[in-house]
């Protein structure tokens, strides 16, 4: 509906100011058949696609096979690193927004958090309280900060990931379905999972509000864990030590295209459909 509304607004603007080519902008609602037609057509010189890494693995080779160009904005198993010198109040706010905003359904959502042993007990209990108290509901009717999951499949994927995390030794806080709206609506309380190690579902992107929290003690080793996933897109470090900031932003640090300092991972989504 948003795309249709934007197309209508732009159409009125073009008609008002004139001198625009016919059908300069077209909004074409459809499914895989329509997407495949655009991907395979030699008349479409550039395909900019936003979606999952699975989608990118399909679209990229198909466009390249006809010597077209593609811009792929795909998924991200995005992480943050919290250093001992971090401002805990600022970090809590940034992590909570980055992990729970848009119900975790954003390519730059924070999904993993590495917290140093020295600051873990000062930060994580506050995060758990934030997860327990955040308002969940219809943002069109209430002041709720967390809206619904897109559909039942997304909710089931979230529950499967939480079950796998629990089986791997994780402690799950939240993640339950909220009794809001009709049966076809899937509202879920965001989940924070304390994990003993980066394993199982932590290594995969689940498009839902799940944040896996892990302890670390060695600053060099945490970079290896941070980069040890196949879908890094955005990243953050929370520190007041300039040397740690510079290392995180260097070739030895984050391997993500977006590297933030003292802000969350979300933002800077520039892909288009």
Active site residues: 73, 107
Work out the burial of residue 74: count CB atoms within 10 Å of its CB; fewer than 13 is exposed, 13-18 middle, 19 or more buried. buried
Find out whether 131 and 174 touch, Cβ atoms under 8 Å: yes
Among 201, 210, 205, residue whose Cα is nearest residue 173: 210
* Rounded CA separation 226/198 (Å): 9
Residue 1 makes CB contacts below 8 A (sequence gap 6+) with none
Q: Are strands 210-216 and 191-194 parallel, antiparallel or unpaired?
A: parallel
Opening angle at CA 49, ends 48 and 54, nearest 5: 145
* Long-range contacts of residues 143-146, Cβ cutoff 8 Å, at least 24 apart: 145/100, 145/101, 146/100, 146/103, 146/187, 146/189, 146/190, 146/209
Q: Which residues contact residue 242 at a Cβ distance below 8 angstroms, ignoring those fewer than 6 apart?
A: none
Residue-level length of the chain: 273
33 vs 18: CA distance, rounded Å: 33
């Amino acid at each position: 509906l948003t795309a249709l509304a934007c197309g209508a607004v732009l159409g009125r603007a073009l008609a008002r100011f004139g001198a625009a080519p016919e059908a300069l902008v077209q909004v074409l609602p459809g499914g895989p058949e329509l997407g495949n037609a655009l991907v395979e057509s030699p008349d479409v010189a550039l395909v900019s696609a936003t979606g999952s890494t699975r989608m990118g693995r399909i679209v990229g080779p198909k466009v390249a096979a006809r010597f077209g160009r593609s811009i792929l904005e795909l998924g991200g198993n995005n992480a943050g690193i919290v250093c001992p010198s971090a401002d805990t109040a600022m970090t809590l706010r940034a992590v909570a927004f980055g992990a729970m905003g848009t119900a975790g359904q954003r390519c730059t959502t924070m999904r993993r958090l590495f917290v140093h042993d020295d600051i873990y007990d000062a930060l994580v209990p506050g995060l758990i309280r934030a997860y327990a108290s955040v308002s969940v509901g219809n943002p069109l009717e209430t002041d709720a900060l967390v809206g619904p999951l897109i559909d039942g499949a997304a909710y089931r994927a979230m529950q499967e990931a939480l079950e796998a995390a629990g089986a791997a030794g994780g402690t799950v806080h939240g993640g339950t379905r909220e009794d809001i709206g009709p049966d076809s609506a899937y509202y879920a309380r965001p989940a924070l999972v304390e994990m003993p190690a980066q394993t199982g579902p932590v290594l995969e992107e689940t498009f839902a509000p799940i944040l896996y929290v892990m302890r670390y003690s060695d600053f060099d080793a945490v970079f290896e864990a941070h980069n040890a996933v196949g879908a890094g897109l955005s990243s953050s470090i929370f520190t007041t030590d300039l040397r740690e900031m510079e290392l995180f932003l260097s070739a030895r640090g984050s391997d993500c295209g977006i590297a933030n300092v003292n802000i969350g991972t979300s933002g800077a989504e520039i892909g288009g459909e």
